[in-house]
Amino acid sequence: MQNQNLLQVCVLSILLISSNIAIAQNQKNFREDMAEWKQERIAALTDPNGWLNLTGLYWLNPGKNRFGNDASNELVYQHRDMPKQAGYFVFENQQVNWVSNAGVQTKIKDSLIKKALLFESGRNAAVQMGLGNLRWSIIQREDKIGVRLRDLSAPILKKFKGCERFKDDSSWRLKAKFEASVTGRLLITNVLGQTNAQSSPGKLIFTIAGKEYQLDALNEEEQLFILFGDATSGKETYPAGRFLYANQPDADGNTIIDFNKAFNPPCAFTKYATCPLPPKQNILPIAITAGEKNYHVSGK
C-alpha cells in the first residue's frame, strides 16, 4: 500500500512538472510571437509605403489640376522638393494623366518621365510617381478620385519609436468559433461618410469572463479582417476603434482571435487617411485592455 501511494505521488509529480513545462513553453512562444509581431508592425508603419509618411491628400476636379508649392496652383503642397509649378493632373473619362512642367524631374521608379497615365478606373493598381523625397499616386474612394502624397523624409519617421501598448497578456488570446454569413456582405462606412457593401464571410464568436460576444469580419488577403471598438475607445485607445486580423477558420470552424495584436487604424497617425469605421454591431460593451493604445498627438 505504501509503495502504491508512493507511485501515485511520483506520477502526480511528473504530470505537474510536465504541465508546468508546457505552460512555460507556451508563454515563451507567446512572448516570441508578440516580439516578432511588434517588429513587423513598426516595419510596416515606417516602410516607404507605410502610413507614417502620408502628408497630403488632394481630391481632383474634372479637367486640369495644377500641382506645386505656389498658391496659384489648384493643388498646393509646400515642401523643399516641390517646385512652384511641378506640373498638372488631367482628370477625365475616369482616367488621370500627369504632365510635368519643363525642367521638373519626375520619375516612375528610376525612369524620368514627362507624361504618364497614372490611373484608369478598373485597373488593379495606380502608378506611383517620385520627385525628390516626394511620392504620389492616385486613389479612388467611391466617386472621389484623389492624389495621395508621401514624404519619405517626413519628420515623424525620426520621432516614431512605436505605439504605447497595454501589457501583453496571453489571456487575451481567445478561441473563437466561425459562423458563416447569410448574405456574405457587410455595410462599412469610412471617415469620408461613404458607405458600401464589402465581402464578409461571417462572424467570430468568443467568450470573455463567461459571456459570449461576436464580431463580424471581412475578407482581406486570405485572412479575416476585423474593425472593432470597445469601452476603451476614446479613452486609452483611438476613438474610432481599432483593427485586428485573424486566421481563416480550420475545417471545424475554429480559429484564434488575439486582442494583443489589435492595432491603430492609419487615421490615428495621419489626417490624410480614409479609414473604414467599425459597424455598430462590432462595438463591444466591454473594455479590451490589450493591444495598441492611442497614438499621442504630440508624435504627429
> Which positions ≥6 away from 80 have C-beta within 8 Å?
132
Q: What CATH number does the domain located at 54-153 have?
A: 2.60.200.20
The sign one gets for the Cα dihedral 130, 135, 140, 146 is negative
* pLDDT tens per residue across span 197-226: 999 999 999 999 999 999 999 999 899 999
Task: Give the contacts of 33 (CB within 8 A, at least 6 positions apart).
Answer: none
**Mean pLDDT, the chain, whole residue set:** 91
Write the pLDDT tens digit of every residue in 271-287: 999 999 999 999 999 99
Domain boundaries, the chain: 30-49+160-299, 54-153
Q: What does pTM read for this prediction?
A: 0.88
